[in-house]
Structure formats: C-alpha cells, structure tokens
Amino acid sequence: MLLYQIFKDADALDRFRLGSDGLDVNFIRTKEAHELVEFAKELLQKK
C-alpha cells in the first residue's frame, strides 16, 4: 500500500505542469510528498 501511495504522490506532484492550480495538496498521501510540494513547484517554474 505504501508503494501505491508513493506513486500516486509522485504523479500528483507532477501536476504543477498543468498550471499553478494543477495540484490540490489535500490529495497528497505521504508526509514526504507534502515536504516536496514547494520543490516540485520550483522545478517546473524553471522550465
């Protein structure tokens, strides 16, 4: 189950490519992914 949550969170973090409102953090499942939200946003803004 943890592996499933990790993959779902990785997919969710990629949603910033859809725009700044592409990710609803309420759907993030793991603590680690919550800590990566700002990092994911910054990565996609640098493109």
pLDDT of residue 47: 61
Count of domains in the chain? 1
pLDDT of residue 46: 73
* CB contact at 8 A, 28 and 37: yes
pLDDT of residue 30: 97
Residue 28 belongs to what domain range?
2-45
Cβ count within 10 A of residue 8: 15
State the pTM of this model.
0.79
pLDDT of residue 43: 87
Q: Tell me: the pLDDT tens digits for 1-47?
A: 999 999 999 999 999 888 878 899 999 999 999 999 999 988 888 76
Using alpha carbons, list the distances in angstroms from residue 19 to 3, 4, 29, 30: 26, 25, 21, 22
pLDDT of residue 45: 80
